[in-house]
């Protein structure tokens, strides 16, 4: 059974070779996947053109359903973006080096999720040409955006998060871009020469690099928390039942981390399989990611339960009615599916045999994310269906235009990710080298076997336990 | 006066570090450890013990950026909101602290990050021309020790490199 996060005997040259190989010569499967993503985007583009020409009518958005799939999916993609920061920044600060082989694609996922999320408020506006009104600019009529509105906070927070995440990804990639520069030819060499900013790997550069990476990690952790808290404020600052909830900020942050971790598991398995990264994206690292996901799933479940309890015992009749409607009303099948996928299915992550079985984890991770997407939909839509005035209660199911745009957003994300993995190294070469170096020089096999010993394992006779002696 | 740049490529950190240790012990007269530049595929965790603590002012850039961002953010918002003095506010505060704190916080982080990146680029001397002695092997798996020195010390340095099993020596002369 593989117990080491990485084989410390991998040669540094082999790490370069394996990662650089993954960036060359796309196989047929890659082009098929790319074509599928483009086809999905085209569905969304056609739907958006139709909506643009005709107006918001075909989307089905009308009072009281002013928000629906667009905003739910916006929240979903913002949530997805949190995983890169979690893995990269938090695990970097606590010096959990198992993050090293997997943080690069997680950070890329952060950036592309934000790029996908950013499209939805614009699409939702209808009048897409007026989207710049949300930016704080000096209007010739002296009118500024309403800084008291959480929607403006969103614009600030997401712009800051996207800028910082892009810089964090880029800065962390500079030493690898230098490796690419030294090994590439043609247009790639020109691209990497520009992007590597003249990196030479001298002690001055490494010294400052270490500091900037730490500083940026320190900035990004509170930023990530604040971004999703602010997204939750879009709802919680209103007085709508089901939205005006004290636990919304932590609930949103937990949900964001949860969906992000589930997506990391999905992409982990895909990259491991298609790029043959078995030596870097190892089963012990997969296990650690699964354990982290399970812990976050339990936090999310707990926050759900206290939200239900607070609503039930709070005796606000409107909020209570909404809660009952979620459990037994027209949205109940989706609500129960959300609870099953979000709270019951994660228990598969608690079993070692299942955690080490990649096909099972792949399917589970997809269902976890289905649950997380349903969670966002169940936050947005039922509240608008069963609000304060019973005469205005109305059930609305999303139109094909909305579904097409949501469907296309997955294609957009997929396309960006597919381009990324072929243009940039999806595994951090220099950090894997560091990991191998550390394991080789500062790791003892005795400690390794001790920490990785499982309950059922027999202890070696040569190393009898001295506990209690 | 001609200045010589000499770089030795080593297969591992141990050999490179023993070379630097000898330089530290004045194995070559007139050459100190401050003249040494170490080039490596990774940052060695104990590099400061070998080269000495050379410090990094990047955190100061972060601090400056963060403070500037918070102050600028708040003043920017407050000045924009002051524009509302010409408009009826219905009894609400013109400069609203709760919302401004949220936005100033975001500005603190944004400017902190931007300033940190600028600080890094300046101090790490990025976006400058690569040194002629740069070797692609450093980005692969070798460790380079480079020194700038006078002509009279070049041979002694090469001898020192050879003593520590150098794989390759590169040399560049500047006027």
* Nearest chain B residue to A165, by CA: B113
Q: Where are the beta strands (DSSP E) in A106-183?
A: none
Q: Which of A148, A219, A433 sits opposite B42 (nearest CB)?
A: A433
A120: pLDDT strictly greater than 70: yes
A229: pLDDT strictly greater than 70: yes
As a residue count, chain A comes to: 469
Query: Chain B residues with CB inside 8 Å of A197's CB?
Result: 121, 126-127
Residue in B170, B134, B136, B144 with CA at minimum distance from that of residue B19? B144
The reported pLDDT for the residue numbered B26 is 77
* Nearest chain A residue to B133, by CA: A200
pLDDT tens across A297-332, in order?
999 999 999 999 999 998 899 999 999 999 999 999
The reported pLDDT for the residue numbered A455 is 52
- For residues B55 and A342, the model is more confident at A342
**High-pLDDT (> 70) share of chain A, %:** 93
- For residues B14 and A73, the model is more confident at A73
Low-confidence winner among A54-58, A118-122, A181-185, B128-132 (lowest mean pLDDT)? B128-132
> Would you say A349 and A264 are in contact if contact means Cβ atoms under 8 Å apart?
no
- For residues A43 and A151, the model is more confident at A43
Low-confidence winner among A133-137, A401-405, A462-466, B42-46 (lowest mean pLDDT)? A462-466
Q: Which residue has the tokens 């170096």?
A: A437
- Give the distance from residue A145's alpha carbon to the nearest chain B alpha carbon, in angstroms: 9
A195 burial type by CB count under 10 A (0-12 exposed, 13-18 middle, 19+ buried): middle
pTM: 0.91
pLDDT tens across A144-168, in order?
778 888 888 998 999 999 999 999 9
- Give the distance from residue A25's alpha carbon to the nearest chain B alpha carbon, in angstroms: 22
**Distance (Å, rounded) from C-alpha A216 to C-alpha A353?**
37
Residue in A414, A43, A379 with CA at minimum distance from that of residue A241? A379
Query: Chain B residues with CB inside 8 Å of A153's CB?
Result: 99, 102-103, 106
E strand or H helix that includes residue B4: strand B3-10
Instruction: Give the start-to-end residue ranges of the domains of chain B.
Output: 3-55+131-174, 58-123
Mean pLDDT score, A440-447: 68
Residue in A336, A338, A360 with CA at minimum distance from that of residue A350? A360
**Distance (Å, rounded) from C-alpha A347 to C-alpha A345?**
5
Task: Find all residues with CB under 8 Å of A176, minimum gap 6, and list them.
Answer: A19, A104, A424, A425, A428, A429, A430
pLDDT grade for A465, boundaries at 50, 70 and 90: very low
pLDDT tens across A78-99, in order?
999 887 887 788 888 988 888 8
pLDDT tens across A175-207, in order?
999 999 999 889 999 999 999 999 998 889 999
How confident is the prediction for chain A on average, in pLDDT? Answer: 89
E strand or H helix that includes residue A257: helix A248-274
**Distance (Å, rounded) from C-alpha B7 to C-alpha B141?**
15
pLDDT tens across A231-258, in order?
999 999 999 999 998 899 999 999 999 9
**Distance (Å, rounded) from C-alpha A229 to C-alpha A297?**
18
Residue in A216, A115, A129, A207 with CA at minimum distance from that of residue A167? A216
Q: Which of A159, A182, A207 sits opposite B56 (nearest CB)?
A: A207
Q: Cα dihedral angle (A333, A339, A341, A345), rounded to 10 degrees?
A: -130
The reported pLDDT for the residue numbered A240 is 92
B49 burial type by CB count under 10 A (0-12 exposed, 13-18 middle, 19+ buried): exposed
User: Interface pTM (ipTM) of the complex?
Assistant: 0.91
Q: Which residue has the tokens 């990324």?
A: A420
Q: Which CATH number fits domain B3-55+131-174: 3.40.50.300, 3.40.50.1980, 3.30.70.260, 3.50.30.60?
A: 3.30.70.260
Low-confidence winner among A67-76, A398-407, B26-35, B137-146 (lowest mean pLDDT)? B26-35
- Give the distance from residue B13's alpha carbon to the nearest chain A alpha carbon, in angstroms: 10
Preceding omega of A64 cis (within 30 degrees of 0): yes
- For residues A6 and B175, the model is more confident at A6
A351 by DSSP, 3-state: which? coil
pLDDT tens across A411-425, in order?
999 999 999 999 999
- For residues A249 and A143, the model is more confident at A249
Q: What is the DSSP letter of B131?
A: P
Residues 73-102 of B with CB under 8 A from A: 76-77, 80-81, 83-84, 86, 92, 96, 99-100, 102
pLDDT tens across A353-364, in order?
999 999 999 999
pLDDT grade for A211, boundaries at 50, 70 and 90: very high
The reported pLDDT for the residue numbered A345 is 96
pLDDT grade for A464, boundaries at 50, 70 and 90: very low
Query: Chain B residues with CB inside 8 Å of A223's CB?
Result: 106, 109
A13: pLDDT strictly greater than 80: yes
Q: What is the DSSP letter of A184?
A: -
- For residues A350 and B28, the model is more confident at A350
Question: Which of B43, B49, B70 is the best residue to mutate to test the A interface, defined by the most A CB atoms within 10 Å of its own CB?
Answer: B43
A429: pLDDT strictly greater than 90: yes
Q: Is A212 on the interface with B (CB under 8 A)?
A: yes
3-class secondary structure per residue, B58-99: HHHHHHHHHHHHHHHHHHHHHHHHHHHHHCCCCCCCCCCHHH
Q: Which of B37, B86, B112 sits opposite A219 (nearest CB)?
A: B112
The reported pLDDT for the residue numbered A302 is 96
Q: Is B60 on the interface with A (CB under 8 A)?
A: no
Beta carbons of B117 and A171 less than 8 Å apart: yes
B71: pLDDT strictly greater than 90: yes
Beta carbons of A197 and B136 less than 8 Å apart: no
pLDDT grade for A172, boundaries at 50, 70 and 90: very high
Low-confidence winner among A38-42, A278-282, A425-429, B132-136 (lowest mean pLDDT)? B132-136
**Distance (Å, rounded) from C-alpha A119 to C-alpha A44?**
11
Question: Which of A27-41, A130-144, A382-396 has the highest average model confidence (pLDDT)?
Answer: A27-41
**Distance (Å, rounded) from C-alpha A434 to C-alpha A428?**
10
Query: Chain B residues with CB inside 8 Å of A144's CB?
Result: 80-81, 83-84
């Amino acid at each position: 059974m593989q117990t080491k996060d990485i084989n410390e005997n991998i040669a540094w040259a082999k790490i370069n070779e394996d990662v650089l190989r993954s960036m060359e010569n796309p196989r047929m499967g890659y082009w098929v996947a790319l074509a599928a993503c483009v086809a999905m985007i085209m569905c969304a583009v056609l739907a958006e053109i139709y909506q643009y020409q005709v107006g918001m009518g075909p989307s089905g958005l009308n009072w009281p359903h002013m928000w629906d799939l667009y905003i739910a999916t916006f929240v979903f993609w913002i949530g997805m973006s949190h995983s890169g920061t979690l893995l990269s920044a938090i695990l970097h600060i606590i010096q959990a080096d198992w993050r090293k082989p997997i943080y690069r694609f997680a950070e890329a996922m952060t950036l592309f999720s934000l790029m996908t999320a950013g499209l939805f408020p614009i699409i939702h506006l209808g009048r897409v040409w007026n989207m710049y009104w949300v930016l704080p600019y000096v209007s010739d009529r002296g009118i500024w955006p309403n800084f008291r509105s959480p929607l403006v906070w969103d614009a600030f927070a997401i712009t800051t998060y996207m800028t910082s995440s892009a810089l964090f990804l880029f800065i962390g990639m500079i030493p690898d871009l230098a490796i690419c520069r030294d090994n590439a030819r043609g247009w790639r060499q020109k691209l990497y020469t520009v992007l590597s900013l003249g990196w030479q790997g001298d002690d001055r550069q490494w010294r400052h690099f270490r500091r900037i990476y730490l500083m940026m990690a320190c900035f990004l952790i509170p930023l990530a928390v604040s971004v999703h808290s602010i997204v939750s404020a879009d709802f919680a600052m209103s007085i709508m039942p089901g939205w005006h909830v004290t636990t919304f900020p932590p609930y949103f942050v937990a949900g964001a981390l949860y969906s992000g971790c589930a997506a990391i598991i999905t992409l982990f398995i895909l990259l491991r399989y298609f790029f043959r990264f078995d030596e870097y994206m190892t089963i012990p690292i997969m296990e650690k990611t699964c354990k982290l996901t399970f812990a976050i799933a339990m936090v999310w479940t707990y926050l759900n339960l206290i939200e239900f309890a607070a609503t039930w015992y709070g005796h606000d009749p409107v909020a209570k009615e909404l809660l009952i409607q979620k459990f037994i009303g027209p949205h109940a099948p989706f609500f129960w599916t959300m609870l099953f996928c979000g709270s019951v299915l994660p228990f598969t992550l608690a079993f070692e045999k299942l955690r080490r079985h990649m096909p099972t984890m792949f399917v589970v991770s997809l269902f976890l994310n289905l649950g997380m997407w349903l969670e966002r939909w169940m936050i947005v839509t039922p509240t608008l269906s069963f609000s304060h005035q019973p005469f205005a209660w109305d059930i609305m199911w999303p139109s094909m235009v909305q579904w097409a745009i949501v469907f296309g957003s997955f294609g957009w994300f997929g396309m960006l990710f597919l381009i990324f993995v072929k243009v940039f190294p999806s595994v951090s070469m220099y950090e894997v080298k560091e990991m191998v170096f550390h394991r080789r020089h500062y790791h003892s096999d005795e400690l390794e076997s001790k920490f990785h010993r499982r309950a059922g394992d027999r202890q070696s006779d040569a190393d009898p336990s001295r506990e209690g002696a | 006066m001609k200045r010589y740049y000499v770089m030795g490529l080593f297969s591992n950190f141990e050999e490179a570090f023993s070379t630097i240790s000898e330089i530290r012990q004045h194995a070559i007269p007139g050459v100190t450890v401050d003249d040494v530049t170490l080039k490596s595929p990774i940052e060695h965790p104990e590099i400061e013990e070998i080269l000495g603590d050379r410090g990094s002012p990047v955190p100061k850039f972060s601090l400056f950026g963060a403070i500037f961002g918070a102050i600028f953010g708040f003043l920017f918002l407050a000045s924009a909101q002051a524009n509302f003095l010409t408009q009826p506010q219905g009894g609400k505060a013109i400069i609203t602290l709760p919302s401004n704190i949220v936005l100033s916080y975001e500005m603190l982080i944004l400017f902190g990050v931007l300033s940190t990146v600028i600080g890094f680029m300046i101090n790490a001397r990025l976006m400058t021309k690569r040194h002629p002695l740069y070797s692609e092997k450093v980005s692969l798996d070798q460790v380079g020790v480079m020194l700038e020195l006078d002509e009279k010390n070049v041979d002694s340095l090469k001898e020192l490199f050879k003593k520590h099993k150098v794989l390759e020596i590169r040399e560049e002369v500047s006027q």
